[in-house]
Amino acid sequence: MPKVGRPVEADGVSSGPWWRGAVIYQIYPRSFVDSNGDGIGDLPGISAHLDYLVDLGVDALWLSPFYRSPMADFGYDVSDYTDVDPIFGTLEDFDRLVESAHARGLRVIVDWVPNHTSEHHAWFVNSRSSRISAQRNWYIWRDPAPDGGPPNNWQSQFPRVGSGWSFDEPTGQWYLHSYLPAQPDLNWDNPAVVEAMSDVLRFWLRRGVDGFRVDVPQRLGKDRAFRDNPGLANEPLAGFVGRRYDEDQPATHEHLRGIRRVVDEFGDRLIVGEVYILDQRRMTTYVNPGDELHLAHNFTFLRLDWDASAFRRTLIELEQSLDPAAWPAWCLGNHDHSRIASRFGADGRGQERARLIGLLLLTLRGTPFIYYGDELGLPDSAVPPDLALDIHDRDRARGPIPWLPTSRVGLGAGFSRVVPWLPVASNAEILNVDAQAADPTSTLSMYRAILRLRRSSTALNAGPVEYLDGAREMLAYRRRSDFESWLIAFNFAVEPRLLEGVQGDVSDNDVAFTTIPDRPRLRMYRRRIMLEPLEGIVLRQHQGGGA
């Protein structure tokens, strides 16, 4: 494989694996660019816009599923793992995308959905055809409980679905689906399943992908005795203490070690898992051993309220839970959660908070993942009830990117020449790419600038992090290397607040970055400076400059 990605060693940033120094950008293919005018984004659309990602300054892209699928869960219900759904293009389009990305130094990570297939996958069609079919045991079939009901109390992750079991009349048994009935769970205790899914990995690895985002890895192992869960919680561990028997079992870790061995056959590739466990000590058991996942998304962090001390506590707990040899990964949005600008925008200040959060994401120790559109500060799309598509109310986070103002090009906003499959974000008129690229004070320009700063800084890429004692509504940390020292601070309050702990004198020249482009001049009071409301700031600290 040709060497791709920016040569991180060359600027002295890091000599570890490529993904430690990388910034990864998630693309939801339905919503990036529609190249053929059917209202739905596609692979050729992405290929044609890779320079946008190069200009942004990211190192890799992660593509949410583009495989053949009936789209009951918008691609997370796969009916053929080794083909591209015609909505998105062809395998040749995929190869071209990888080739063009690599030619630009961008790596490509694809989604891999191992816990379940579509009910229309040939494996399941065979499996449900009879009790003695060759692939019956590829899925999880059980006899009815004595009262004729489902075998146990496991629930689907989607509250509207209810029970995690569906009854199959013709064969008189129930099958397990952790999500929709149209998404039957595979039986990972069957070696034939492990082999078939490993071949799926090899198929894409041979096509040149640089890694995988693993969908719900914690689900791969289930309690082998199928015990009832204590309680019916279907929110992942929200307010839930104690064991759940339908995920995070010892078998889960066995399966992940096997998956890692397959990926390691190909060298320098990445597996990052959507480990949706809202307990950082348990979540980190997926990366600490070193022979399971390389990285795990941290949903405890993603789900925090707007509270500096909660952020601080969570960040410190993560550092304490993580093995020194392991590496953090950060994301503050994805296709399953309301966008940052909306989540934190009830008072109309979502844009400012989105900038603050962007700076935080890109300056923490670890590998950041940017959800497409967050670099524009996009709010959720307004999706009227009659246009709602998703069973779990996630449409609003999945709106297409506005490339151009709607007043100029209509509702498609440069994403599509027709009306898009979901409405583009509200505010497209102002927040579109074209307008923001031309405005040096825009959120997009801000992301570009931070990514430039990050790339040139050993401390930001690889240096340790030291969290400072937080004044109320303030989060602050240092990142250092042998050559530089940064003080990075965030004022979560909507009033000015004093930042303590500044070393030496600082002046306006030491402001390497701020989320408030027109901030007043720095005012320094005895090692304290005043931060503007909702400001995030990066200050250059002079080494040895009086503590």
Site residues (vs Ca ion, CB under 5 A):
34, 36, 38, 40, 42
Instruction: Choose between 235 and 495: whose C-beta lies nearer to ligand GLC.
Output: 235
Token digits of residue 83: 């083909």
Shortest Å distance, C-beta 166 to ligand GLC: 16
By CB under 6 A, the count of residues binding ligand GLC is 9
Give the separation between CA 49 and CA 29, rounded to whole angstroms.
12
Instruction: Choose between 42 and 247: whose C-beta lies nearer to Ca ion.
Output: 42
Name the binder of 34 from ligand GLC, Ca ion, none, CB < 5-8 A by kind: Ca ion
Contact 24, 59 (CB under 8 A): yes
Shortest Å distance, C-beta 276 to ligand GLC: 6
Name the binder of 329 from Ca ion, ligand GLC, none, CB < 5-8 A by kind: none
Shortest Å distance, C-beta 87 to Ca ion: 7
Catalytic annotation, pick one of 265, 291, 307, 466: 265
Instruction: Choose between 74 and 141: whose C-beta lies nearer to ligand GLC.
Output: 74
By the rule CB under 6 A, 179 interacts with ligand GLC = yes
Name the binder of 179 from ligand GLC, Ca ion, none, CB < 5-8 A by kind: ligand GLC
Of 544, 509, 545, 512, which Cα lies nearest the Cα of 527? 545
Shortest Å distance, C-beta 113 to ligand GLC: 6
Give the separation between CA 298 and CA 219, rounded to whole angstroms.
16
Find the binder of ligand GLC among 336, 429, 434, 473 (CB under 6 A).
Answer: 336
Give the separation between CA 135 and CA 383, rounded to whole angstroms.
41
Instruction: Choose between 274 and 292: whose C-beta lies nearer to ligand GLC.
Output: 274
Q: What SS3 state is found at 370? A: strand
Name the binder of 311 from Ca ion, ligand GLC, none, CB < 5-8 A by kind: none
Letters for 19-58 (x = contact with ligand GLC by CB under 6 A, - = none) are ----------------------------------------
Shortest Å distance, C-beta 31 to ligand GLC: 13
Contact 143, 151 (CB under 8 A): yes
How wide is the angle at C-alpha 84 spanned by C-alphas 428 and 116, nearest 5°?
95
Give the separation between CA 208 and CA 266, rounded to whole angstroms.
10
How wide is the angle at C-alpha 362 spanned by C-alphas 1 and 103, nearest 5°?
25
Give the separation between CA 333 and CA 23, rounded to whole angstroms.
14
Instruction: Choose between 238 and 547: whose C-beta lies nearer to ligand GLC.
Output: 238
By the rule CB under 6 A, 215 interacts with ligand GLC = yes
By the rule CB under 6 A, 188 interacts with ligand GLC = no
* Residue given tokens 């816990």 in the structure block: 115
Contact 149, 155 (CB under 8 A): no
Q: Per DSSP, what are the bridge partners of residue 524? A: 529
Using CB atoms within 10 Å of the CB of residue 195, give its burial: 0 to 12 exposed, 13 to 18 middle, 19+ buried: exposed
Q: What SS3 state is found at 334? A: coil
* Residue given tokens 């959120």 in the structure block: 443
User: At CB < 8 A and 24+ separation, what contacts does 226-230 make?
Assistant: 226/142, 226/151, 226/152, 227/152, 228/152, 228/153, 228/154, 229/152, 229/153, 229/154, 229/155
Name the binder of 352 from ligand GLC, Ca ion, none, CB < 5-8 A by kind: none
Question: Is 265 designated active site?
Answer: yes
Instruction: Choose between 414 and 463: whose C-beta lies nearer to Ca ion.
Output: 414
Of 506, 495, 487, 486, which Cα lies nearest the Cα of 532? 495
Find the binder of ligand GLC among 209, 216, 357, 506 (CB under 6 A).
Answer: 216
Range 271-330, binding ligand GLC (CB under 6 A): 274
Name the binder of 375 from ligand GLC, Ca ion, none, CB < 5-8 A by kind: none
Range 469-488, binding ligand GLC (CB under 6 A): none
Give the separation between CA 31 and CA 41, rounded to whole angstroms.
5
Q: What SS3 state is found at 512? A: strand
Q: Quickly list DSSP for 93-105.
A: HHHHHHHHHHHTT
Q: Quickly list DSSP for 58-75.
A: -SEEEEPP-EE---TTTT
| Cα 249 to chain centroid, rounded | 23
Q: Quickly list DSSP for 388-420.
A: ---TTS-GGGGPPP--S-HHHH-TTBTTBSS--
Contact 177, 156 (CB under 8 A): yes
Token digits of residue 193: 């399943």
Letters for 57-86 (x = contact with ligand GLC by CB under 6 A, - = none) are ----------------x--x----------
Instruction: Choose between 76 and 81: whose C-beta lies nearer to ligand GLC.
Output: 76
Shortest Å distance, C-beta 498 to ligand GLC: 41
Rounded (10°) angle between helices 443-455 and 350-363? 10
Find the residue with minimal CB distance to ligand GLC. Answer: 76
Shortest Å distance, C-beta 47 to ligand GLC: 24
By the rule CB under 6 A, 361 interacts with ligand GLC = no
Catalytic annotation, pick one of 42, 93, 111, 215: 215
Instruction: Choose between 85 and 484: whose C-beta lies nearer to Ca ion.
Output: 85
What DSSP state is assigned to residue 293? Answer: -
Shortest Å distance, C-beta 35 to Ca ion: 6
Shortest Å distance, C-beta 44 to Ca ion: 8
Shortest Å distance, C-beta 336 to ligand GLC: 5
Find the binder of ligand GLC among 23, 98, 106, 113 (CB under 6 A).
Answer: 113
Instruction: Choose between 215 and 352: whose C-beta lies nearer to ligand GLC.
Output: 215
Secondary structure E strands in 149-219? 165-168, 173-176, 211-214
Of 271, 282, 274, which Cα lies nearest the Cα of 248? 282
Range 238-277, binding ligand GLC (CB under 6 A): 274
Name the binder of 336 from Ca ion, ligand GLC, none, CB < 5-8 A by kind: ligand GLC
Instruction: Choose between 34 and 374: whose C-beta lies nearer to Ca ion.
Output: 34
Active site (catalytic) residues:
215, 265
The site for ligand GLC (CB under 6 A) is made up of 73, 76, 113, 179, 215-216, 274, 335-336
